Structures are given as C-alpha cells and as structure tokens.
Amino acid sequence: MKVCIHRGSRQIGGSCIEIAHDGARIALDFGLPLEGDPADKALLPPIRLDGLEAIAISHPHLDHYGLLHHLRQDVPVAMGQAARRIVRAAAPFTGQALPRLEGFTLAHRTPLDIGPFRITPYLMDHSAYDAYALQVEAGGKTLFYSGDLRGHGRKGGLFEQIVSAPPAGIDVLLMEGSSLSRLEDDDVFPSEAELEEAFVRQFRATAGLSMVLTSAQNIDRVVSLYRACKRSGRTLIIDLYAAAILEATGNGNIPQSDWPGIALFVPESQRTQIRKNEWFELLRRHAKRRVFPEQLRALASTSTVLFRPLMMADLERADALQDAGFIYSQWQGYLERGAYATTQAWLARHRISMHHIHTSGHASPRDLRRFAEALAPGALVPIHSFAPDKYAGLFANVVQHPDGEWWEV
C-alpha cells in the first residue's frame, strides 16, 4: 500500500490523501484550504481522477470536502449519511456549489470494501456532526486516518471507547494536530458541559435579548445552548437555515424546530430567499413555533437568538436590543482576521459588549497523546497541523512525509 499526502503535512485545512494498491486508488478527503476560493481550480490536489475508486470524506467541514464540486461525475463519494444530508441542506442557504455526493455510505465500525481496500469508519467526537476516523486496509497493511477528533465534546464517550479498546495492528497513523500550535503541551480545552454552565451564567446575567454567534452546523454547541436556555428560562430562537440543518441530522434526540423551548424566526433576507426559490414546503415544516418581527421586543428578555449577521437589521427594526448581550462562540482566529468586523462595529454602535464562550473542535495535546499511545502505530505521520515539528517531542515513532511524496506502508 502506497500513500501520498497531497495537502496537509504542514497546514490545517485543505486535507487530501491518496492511497494506491494493486493498481487501484482511493482518496481520503478533498478539502478547501482555509482561506481558499472554492472556485479556484488551481487549488485542486494533483490527483488523476480517471480510474479513482472513490473519495472518502471524513466529515462535513469545508476544509475536508470543499473542492468536491470540481469532481468528475463518475467518481463515487463515500461519507456518512447524515453528513451528506447536512451538506445538501446547507448549500442553498450558503451559496456553496453543491457537489455530487452519490456513492458509498460510511457507518460506525461497519467495514466497506472498495476495490482492494477495506475501509472501516469510526464515529468520532468533533464539532462537525457525523465525523469519522477511517481505517484503511490493503495488502496486509493497515493505515488509520484520525480525521478531526476531540475528547471533550458531547460525544466524548466515543473517544474513550477507542482509547480503551483500540483497533490492533496499526502500521501507520495519520493523526491531526490542530491544537499543537494553539495550546501548551499540558493545557486542555474546556468541555461542552463547562460551556453549558458558562452560557447559563451569562444568560441569567443578561436583562435583555441574548445573542450567540456560533455555527448552526456545530450540533454539540446548539445542544449546549438549548440546555442552557432551558435552565435559565429562555427560548432558543433559530432561523430557517438552523432548522434545516438540525432536521438534516435525522436524529430525534437533537433539538428540532417543533420542540418546546425553540422558536423559529425568519429574517427578511431569508423571506426573500423563500419567495425567490419557492421554499414554501421547507418553511411549512418548520413554522409550528414561528415568531414574527413585531413579537421580538416583547420576547427579548426571555429569549436567546442563535445569531447570524444577516439578522442585524431585523433586530434593529424590531427594537429588540435594549439591555442585550452578545456571546461569540467560534474560533478566535475569525475575529483576528476581520471576518466579523461589520458585526463588531454594529455591536459597538449599540453599546453591546461581546463575551467569549467557546471550546475547540480538536483534541488537546494531552488527549492526542492518549490517542497515539492507545493505537500504538508502527509509524505516526503528522497531518492537519501548523506544528508538525512538535510531534517528535510528544509522540513515539514519528515519521514526517512532505506534501507530494509517495511512500510505502
């Protein structure tokens, strides 16, 4: 079995790995670099698509699937069924090109045979829903690709399961190390349970509307918000995009638009989309607990909005910002890069302070060590990290392979 990391050996985002054996080839992930333009064909990894057996997508984050729309129509895609639904549900709202997603379905610990390759997915704890690590076997050799993982989310039990009963005989572990450039070796990230407590405290301390800026696709975070709202006597207000994403999970244990304690608000820009695209059935499915602009002011003191910048004008017109509070619950780097400069200026104009309550979607160095020690690979290869040179000081059997180099397992 031969392997080539086309992108990811010294960076976070844009991940793509090619594996070849006995004349057959597959790829793991087909990601968009973090600041890349999805339309830029120059970002495509140098994979010969003709004859490619499949591309397996570890999880539905753009830095792992965001170039799929450039694929030939005859290349099968393997991914989780819920992940496939989430990508399809998000695309009409975000304007992302909808890739061809037909192909194979990844399911937890269910082996999938594609040509000479046996792929066994392991459902992992991550900020993306339906995220998998991928074990690939061929020619008597075993490669394990961590994908993105953590142990401090609401699915942390999955991390503990694989650490306590790991797959045996791993020849090569390709392991992400996103946190190695962000945390000291012994630091840890707060858990989602700790975030829930922080949300409760902040909601109770806010006299008016609470607004939380986070991704609706971060399902763990939405669950934390819903639980915190219940505990603090607030209704969680979501938009139609969030309602569609939550529905796409297909999980009856995940908060949905018709649950008690949740309300739907459709901002003006989404109302325009509904009329233009005739999304009337989508709206009908989620309108059971709909609230309207003229109700927002009265509801403010007992509500939390899953905030999106497109709501700013609606909240202003509704005069719903008296004594409001704002929580930023995403990666700090987006603020530093100016991605939310307009939102920050809007908050300043209304004299609303920003509080930071967030945790990473990636494992701390401490959990990465536990993971690597449990799997005990013959070789550990850095991927998805800005700090690959730190691996040798933290893990055993580290072997670095640069982008574009073919090597044998």
pLDDT for res 71: 87
Cβ-based neighbour number of residue 50 at 10 Å: 9
Do 56 and 79 touch, CB atoms closer than 8 A? yes
Q: Give the pLDDT of residue 278.
A: 95
Q: What percent of the chain has pLDDT over 90?
A: 92
Tell me the per-residue pLDDT of 64-105, one tens digit each, with 9 for 90 and over: 999 999 987 789 999 999 999 999 999 999 888 888 899 999
Q: How confident is the model at residue 175 (pLDDT cuts 50, 70, 90)?
A: very high
Half-sphere exposure of 72 (CA within 13 A, CB side): 10
Residues 290, 257: Cα–Cα separation, whole Å: 9
Q: Give the residue-averaged pLDDT of 108-124.
A: 98
Full set of structural domains in the chain with CATH = 2-184+361-408 (3.60.15.10), 192-356 (3.40.50.10710)
The torsion region of residue 318 among left (phi > 0), alpha (psi -120 to 50) and beta comes to alpha
* pLDDT greater than 80 at residue 205: yes
Per residue in 213-230, pLDDT (tens digit) is 999 999 999 999 999 999
Distance (Å, rounded) from C-alpha 398 to C-alpha 177?
13
Residues 160-169 have a mean pLDDT of: 97
pLDDT, one tens digit per residue, over 345-379 is: 999 999 999 999 999 999 999 999 999 999 999 99
